[in-house]
């Protein structure tokens, strides 16, 4: 039975960043990962099916984010600026616009006057319940579902206000070679220092007392350390105790369990479609749509799959479809092929191309239904009204022995991003290092 300073459960961005920070400080770690790969909700695939590496999970660096960009620089990994145009398709017409909500200025002004937090839908009903605002309410709900993968019936108005007041849409990047290059760098640093990053190691029980932890896995193995960092997705922590991948604590962590359930966790389905040509840039589509889409980055449509994006500024034949929030949850049990067909049908209606013709152009496709995956069970976190207090509880180590890390514990405008996960992992490792018993 190998003993290390710290056990980390979960080899996603938060867990590996925590491990990396501890190892750089001279500590020993054991990382347990339930999947047969590292990365968590980062999953870059490179195979013969697609012509270039594609991202099933996290894809963008949303802004000039210091932890992410500094780590890439340290690892010698480059990033590419993403320049694109926002297009919308409504009532059969294309329009270049990044104005997603009619009356947005009036709405945000009223929201900025709010003094006490409440679910966003409650705010809308209190301030914009008249029939004349029906379209605006729907647009806002769709925006929250699509961008934040959240349910506006319980999403915090304060948190969304903070996000919308700090948007940095001009600074977007992609990681050269995919996000997994960064993940591999973190894991390799740990392994090269003699530490284990173990795959197919499904943690089942955490037995703890002050400065002593034993983690048992479903295959009967046990791992011993002085501390443990729980770096699992929030959706898995919220799962029933008998669910696949769920862990139990002995003694129980009742206060932390309640806090975990007071933070929202969204749903998402991502659909990657590679065609034999960049058909949306063709003369035929330009004539049909009346728009030149050669610099289109994002396309928003009132359709079953409402969001698509390209690889702009590259003229790649890859289109990515995105469905978030409650609509994604409602489709989580659909077969992948049926979801792909929905995306083709949406593109058919938007671009006025027969579905059969689009199928004939399709050379590769992949559906990433993150909500249906046992070791994820959703997309990323969003705040409920109770979430700030819940985070305070979860950020406090239990007896300086049990620590939590993850993007859901980040408090700032980059919530739900890789930056949030990396920041949390770094912060929790520094908290562990301050512990004199380590």
Q: In this structure, are 155 and 297 located in the same domain?
A: no
Q: What are phi and psi for residue 309, nearest 5 degrees?
A: -140, 160
Q: In this structure, are 359 and 281 located in the same domain?
A: yes
CATH number of the domain to which 186 belongs: 3.50.50.60
Q: In this structure, are 271 and 257 located in the same domain?
A: no
CATH number of the domain to which 323 belongs: 3.90.660.10
pLDDT (tens digit, 9 = 90+) per residue, 174-209?
999 999 999 999 999 999 999 999 999 999 999 999
In a domain, 74, yes or no: yes
Which residue is listed with tokens 């939590």? 404
In a domain, 382, yes or no: no
Ranges of residues in the chain whose predicted pLDDT is under 70:
168-170, 436
Q: In this structure, are 282 and 327 located in the same domain?
A: yes
Q: In this structure, are 361 and 225 located in the same domain?
A: no
- The total domain count for the chain is 3
Q: In this structure, are 137 and 207 located in the same domain?
A: no
Range of the domain at 140: 99-164
In a domain, 383, yes or no: no
- DSSP designation for 417: S
Q: In this structure, are 285 and 361 located in the same domain?
A: yes
Q: In this structure, are 76 and 131 located in the same domain?
A: no
Report pLDDT for 168: 60
Report pLDDT for 412: 77
Give a three-class secondary structure readout of 333-392: CCCHHHHHHHHHHHHHHHHCCCHHHHHHHEEEEEEEEHHHCCCCCCCCEECCCCHHHHHH
Q: In this structure, are 281 and 337 located in the same domain?
A: yes
Q: Is the pTM of this model over 0.85?
A: yes
In a domain, 404, yes or no: yes
Report pLDDT for 135: 92
Report pLDDT for 40: 98
Please report, for residues 178, 221, 320, the alpha-carbon distance to residue 55 in angstroms, rounded to integers and kept in the order given. Answer: 7, 33, 10
Please report, for residues 91, 107, 267, 298, 300, the alpha-carbon distance to residue 271 in angstroms, rounded to integers and kept in the order given. Answer: 24, 32, 14, 14, 15
Q: In this structure, are 137 and 183 located in the same domain?
A: no
Report pLDDT for 281: 94
Q: In this structure, are 146 and 294 located in the same domain?
A: no
User: Annotated binding site: which residue ranges?
Assistant: 33-34
Dist CA 220 CA 204 (whole Å) = 9
> Last residue of a domain, which of 107, 134, 164?
164
In a domain, 9, yes or no: yes
Q: In this structure, are 256 and 275 located in the same domain?
A: no
User: Annotated binding site for FAD: which residue ranges?
Assistant: 33-34
The contacts of residue 32 (CB under 8 Å, 6+ apart) are: 7, 8, 9, 10, 11, 198, 201, 202, 203, 215, 217, 223
């Amino acid at each position: 039975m190998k003993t290390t300073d710290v056990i980390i459960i979960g080899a996603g961005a938060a867990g590996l960043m925590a491990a990396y920070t501890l190892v750089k400080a001279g500590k020993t770690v054991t990382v347990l990962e339930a999947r047969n790969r590292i990365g968590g909700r980062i999953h870059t695939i490179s195979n013969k099916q697609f012509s270039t590496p594609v991202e099933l999970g996290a894809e963008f660096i949303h802004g000039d984010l210091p932890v992410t960009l500094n780590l890439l620089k340290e690892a010698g990994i480059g990033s590419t600026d993403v320049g694109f145009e926002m297009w919308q398709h409504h009532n059969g017409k294309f329009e270049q616009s990044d104005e997603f909500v009619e009356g947005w200025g009036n709405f945000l002004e009223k929201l900025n006057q709010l003094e006490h937090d409440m679910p966003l839908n409650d705010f809308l009903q209190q301030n914009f319940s008249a029939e004349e605002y029906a379209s605006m309410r729907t647009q806002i709900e769709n925006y929250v579902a699509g961008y934040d993968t959240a349910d506006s019936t319980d999403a915090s108005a304060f948190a969304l206000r903070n996000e919308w007041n700090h948007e940095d849409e001009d600074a977007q990047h992609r990681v050269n070679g995919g996000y997994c290059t960064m993940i591999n760098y973190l894991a390799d640093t740990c392994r090269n220092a003699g530490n284990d990053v173990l795959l197919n190691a499904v943690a089942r029980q955490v037995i703890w007392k002050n400065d002593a932890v034993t983690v048992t896995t479903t295959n009967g193995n046990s791992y011993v350390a002085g501390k443990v960092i729980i770096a699992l997705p929030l959706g898995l922590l919220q799962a029933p105790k008998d669910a696949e991948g769920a862990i139990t604590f002995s003694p129980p962590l009742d206060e932390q369990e309640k806090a975990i359930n007071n933070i929202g966790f969204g749903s998402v389905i991502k659909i990657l479609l590679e065609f034999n040509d960049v058909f949306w840039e063709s003369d035929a589509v330009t004539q049909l749509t009346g728009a030149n889409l050669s610099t289109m980055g994002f396309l928003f449509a009132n359709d079953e799959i409402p969001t698509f994006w390209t690889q702009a500024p590259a003229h790649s034949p890859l289109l990515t479809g995105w469905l978030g929030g409650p609509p994604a949850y409602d489709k989580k049990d659909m077969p992948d092929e049926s979801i792909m067909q929905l995306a083709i049908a949406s593109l058919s209606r938007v671009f006025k191309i027969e579905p059969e013709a689009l199928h004939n152009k399709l050379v590769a496709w992949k559906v990433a239904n993150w909500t249906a995956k046992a070791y994820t069970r959703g997309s990323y976190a969003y705040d409920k009204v109770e979430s700030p207090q819940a985070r305070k509880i979860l950020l406090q180590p239990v007896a300086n022995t049990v620590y939590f890390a993850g993007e859901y514990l980040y408090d700032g405008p980059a919530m739900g991003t890789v930056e949030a996960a990396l920041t949390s992992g770094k912060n929790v490792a520094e908290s562990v290092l301050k512990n004199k018993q380590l």
